[in-house]
Chain A
């Protein structure tokens, strides 16, 4: 009687729901028939070269852009989009471009494409992540501004003095010069980085101002171009750019599939919906060998994990305390048991992937010698309480706890791991000089030079030298190396600088990373480079 209406309504509503839900989907991606591959990434932060310093964005951009230089097997820079990069004094560099290159919208690549892109990238108010790469170019400082009353003050910062760097000069359409503020022998290697890609005129809405929409469909000078636009949190589809003059990739297109969760990505890899995952999550490493067989591969990466000693905590000021702690831990046990050999023990202060790396520079201080460690620690009157502070969102708890247990066992002191929610919280505490104890840190290089480890991590002004290590002898050796006439002379100076680190032990080297990657049965020739990027020129589909 009365009761009938609500039922019909409910049934109708349910039917509509099912219909709506069913209709939404159904856009099957054509798989298998075409010569394309699906590569997994996480959502890039940005797709503007100067603003892409994380691996996801730079991986996608590597398919859209063609760099000035590439690295060969020996990590030496070789010209790619550049015809030649030369300098007599390591200060004024002349870059000659290969003629005939165009952007995927058929705009020719000229010196202006580079000069405009770099000026835009370096301009302070644009707030680009990668702007610090331009620091070495003369005139960089004039593009930055300072807030007159500090960050929290009400006054706005004035406009920077200039919009273009004085160090960039156009010679002709395919030649330009870069003047550095100080000589730097490794400049050619730096130029391989993502931030030094050119931008077409189409990227700018007015001179020096980037078009808002450009980031959604970046136009590059590389082997691929974007199809449609960046589908946020979902995928970026690229297809071969017809006019590309460089080496031709072996696939017709790439779908950069975006995952929020490493394990979801791994599930898709195993289920066959994904062709390459560059980082197998540690939780799945146990089963990965069985799931993937010989499609699970390892390759060197530039990761360097270490803990730093805060200089503001007096109890760590004695180098013997730091050495004792270093000898108290068993690096190999940690990499074997916790990282299942996906990382290797570190006993040097720079990664093995850079030229100039020497094995085991740390020497006996990085060997596991619990008895000696204890004797040294007691003699140096090390603190009875050790704390290791780490950010809890990075999966560090397991090894920090293991390290603490080793310290406890070797030195008979109490050790606790202190998790901070985020890295930013950790930095806040360090800045406030709170007693954080040992600080968990890591480094991924930007360009394969020893200097890229020594400078940011150990120099007095280093951007990632959060622990405040400062040694003038080290700083001057580093500077001498950077200004040396040849790369070989530079390496010699940098190695001398590393020897100072062995004496001072400002940090405990712990682990060097490796890429642990997996791929599907559909692809072959999969290489993952030092920067965790898949080599998009070599990857091939298996003929089926």
Chain B
């Protein structure tokens, strides 16, 4: 177990550097004129262009810029954005609300998907199964650019159940509507996976054995079936948690949440390389950690799995 952990952590370091390098290279290739991008349609004077170019090392070749960036990163300095703000402060501002949003979304999704998935798995072909199938398909087929403004219009403005926008210090209630919208991205898949896993496991030999032993139905489904059915679902939830943090660009924009997605969107728009790479580096770490956690959870769920 320990050796496995060490190995994984070492792999992470490599993955991290590889990912930041690729992202930095992509940003560099995408960069036409960040100073103009930042100024919008305003003309820029020569001396201003000169000053900004030197301040952000924009006149240096790719490796030079990357070196400047990594040198800062390794000493814990994420650098400054093209809007002259400390990127570390921007991240400290943006991450908490995004994490809260993603966690609320994933908890809602997990509860809905697992409960509904188990029920439809047990009563395959029943009314509940068919209704959830149709509902999840409807939600799944609606792109978030439609779903999010629609939810804001209906629940935020017309019915007035939720505030139409949330702020950085938003509480649970303010984040509930955005979290529901965000969660709808992944709830369908997780529900379907739970359902098929439950349905399959119900037919397996150990379930028959458990029943033959005279265990109650509750115990058979709640412990034996569910625990085995959760393995693929946990994998999905882990990956989705990362997805939800990075993929909240539309949701955060629509509900005015100044989180990671919004910052990434802005940074890409203004060709702000260091800002994009800063946020993506942290996202990479989140993905890596979540994946490691998921792998470790396997062992808890399935005793046959051992890490050496």
Contacts and interface: CB of A to CB of B under 8 A. Distances in A.
| Bound pair (A, B) | yes
Interface stretch (A70-78, A82-90, A424-432): A424-432
Interface residues of A, number: 68
A286 interface: no
B285 to A, nearest CB: 19
B204 interface: no
Interface string A116-133: 000000001111110110
A131 B253 contact: no
A17 B107 contact: yes
B300 A131 contact: no
A152 interface: yes
Nearest to B93: A232
Nearest to A440: B41
A502 to B, nearest CB: 25
The winner among B33, B45, B152, B266 for most chain A CB atoms within 10 A is B45
Contacts of B160: 271
A44 to B, nearest CB: 9
Given A22-B171, A145-B47, A3 B165 contact: no
A232 B258 contact: yes
Nearest to B51: A127
B53 A427 contact: no
B51 A264 contact: no
Interface string A226-262: 0000011111000000000000000000000011110
Contacts of B149: 263
A128 B153 CA distance: 40
B168 A260 contact: no
The winner among A124, A152, A261 for most chain B CB atoms within 10 A is A261
Interface stretch (B9-17, B83-91, B135-143, B188-196): B83-91
* Interface majority SS (helix, strand, loop, mixed), chain B: helix
A124 B291 CA distance: 49
Interface in B17-71: 32-34, 36-43, 45-55, 59
B34 to A, nearest CB: 8
A420 B42 CA distance: 17
B247 interface: no
B223 interface: yes
Interface stretch (B96-104, B117-125, B126-134, B274-282): B96-104
Given A157-B50, A427-B33, A2 B164 contact: no
A54 B256 CA distance: 21
Contact of A267 (B50, B52, B153, B300): B153
Interface in A36-80: 45-46, 53-54
B209 to A, nearest CB: 15
Contacts of A5: 300
Nearest to A48: B84
B226 to A, nearest CB: 8
A126 B96 CA distance: 33
Top 8 closest pairs, chain A to chain B, by CB: A25-B171, A127-B51, A233-B258, A463-B43, A124-B47, A424-B36, A267-B164, A144-B47
Given A144-B46, A258-B258, 4 more contacts: A2-B303, A24-B96, A260-B258, A463-B45
8 contacts: A6-B297, A24-B97, A26-B171, A45-B83, A127-B47, A127-B50, A267-B157, A267-B164
